[in-house]
Structure 1
């Protein structure tokens, strides 16, 4: 990523006017580099390092863990331990982002944070235990974004997730909840009756 820019781009990145940058230079607050033709050049990685996160040229490693519900806290802890142990063995400096929510929910706070950091160029590596931990459907789109942003994706287990059936059941329950609420209203007797029936079917299938 090229962070050496002209005065117009630097002013926009800092949220000030070109005149302000020239005034700061005259006051000795910052000193741009001059090209052979005399044009000013500014290094954004030094002016706003919190945005570019270019410490030593390295971007962060993020390990992402997710479970569908708070009832699966034990599995979330297992995921975190697996990710932490793997990243530590590689000698990587890393953060772990955890989410509770369906694999079909695109509005989870951890997932939004992860995508924002990928798009901002702050992440150099994404580590997950299974591909379905990211999203049930749509993971390929996230992987394509990672490729475009030169983010390495590490999937520790390529096989089927051990919680696949339980998670799918939770996803199906979420779909029925949304559509029944739209059809009958979230507080209607029909909605509650339908959800009770689905929950019993899910519980019996898992026995």
Structure 2
């Protein structure tokens, strides 16, 4: 018995974005039925993920991701982009470089969101980064788990410590302190402001 579903439900069943599903339809990989009102409907019995993902692997692109925490590190961002581009070109890969300027604690950066949307949408076959921390300070393993589930190869050029680790870490700590300050300075306890001021001094002295 046929079970017809909407394009949103079909995309969810296949684990791809609606855009990818429309592309597969345009390429003739699957056919949609149309309601009298002109809406697409897909037969769930004919939606087998392995039929589409395997054929699509060769068409998925390589994405190189670069990030720095602050405007003062723009030169380092350019170096990252050049290293990534040179590496990908030497491998003969067709690639795109996505770059972000923002803290490794920030999960809402435009570039990162664009990258994750493409991975989840089944559009990326390979992710290339210079260091793990360039992706996220905390949570990179979760992104790698998503990559594994989506059959995305992850290439990390340098497994050692990033040369900008200390500077980035201080920036991340300052960001945490800023958030805590906004929450705690308004509280009734007089101890909280003193505690935060002490932490700030420690961070500033470590950068002196």
> Please, what TM-score do these two structures have when normalized by structure 2?
0.69
1:18 maps to 2:40 = no
Measured against aligned partners, the alpha-carbon deviations of 1:159-180 in whole angstroms (never above 9, x if no partner) come to 0000111111011100000001
Alignment of 1:113-128 (within 5 A): 113-128=114-129
- Segments of structure 2 that go 5 or more residues without pairing to the other structure are 11-21, 23-31, 41-45, 48-52, 187-191
Which residue number in structure 2 is paired with residue 8 of structure 1? 4
2:26 maps to what in 1? none
How does the TM-score come out when normalised to structure 1? 0.70
Map of 1:176 onto structure 2? 177
Determine which structure has more spread, i.e. the larger CA radius of gyration: 1
Superposition misfits of 4+ residues, deviation over 2 angstroms: 6-14, 16-24, 54-57, 194-198, 200-207
Equivalences, count: 171
Shift of 1:9: 4.9
Match of 1:68 in 2: 69
Quickly say closer, same or farther: Cα 1:203–1:180, change in 2 above 3 A: closer
Structural RMSD (CA) = 3.5
**CA distance in 1: counterparts of 2:86 and 2:7, whole angstroms:** 43
In structure 2, relative to structure 1, the CA distance for the partners of 1:172 and 1:93 (3 Å cut) is: same
Query: Counterpart of 1:49?
Result: none
Q: Identify which of structures 1 and 2 has the higher relative contact order when contacts are C-alpha pairs closer than 8 Å and 6+ apart.
A: 2
Q: SS of 1:73's equivalent?
A: helix
1:11 touches 1:17 (CA, 8 Å); kept in 2? no
Q: Name the SS for the 2:4 alignment partner.
A: helix
Cα distance in 2 between the residues matched to 1:196 and 1:96? 40
User: For residues 121 and 181 of structure 1, do their structure 2 counterparts lie closer, same or farther at Cα, with a shift above 3 Å needed?
Assistant: same
Other-structure match for 1:111: 112
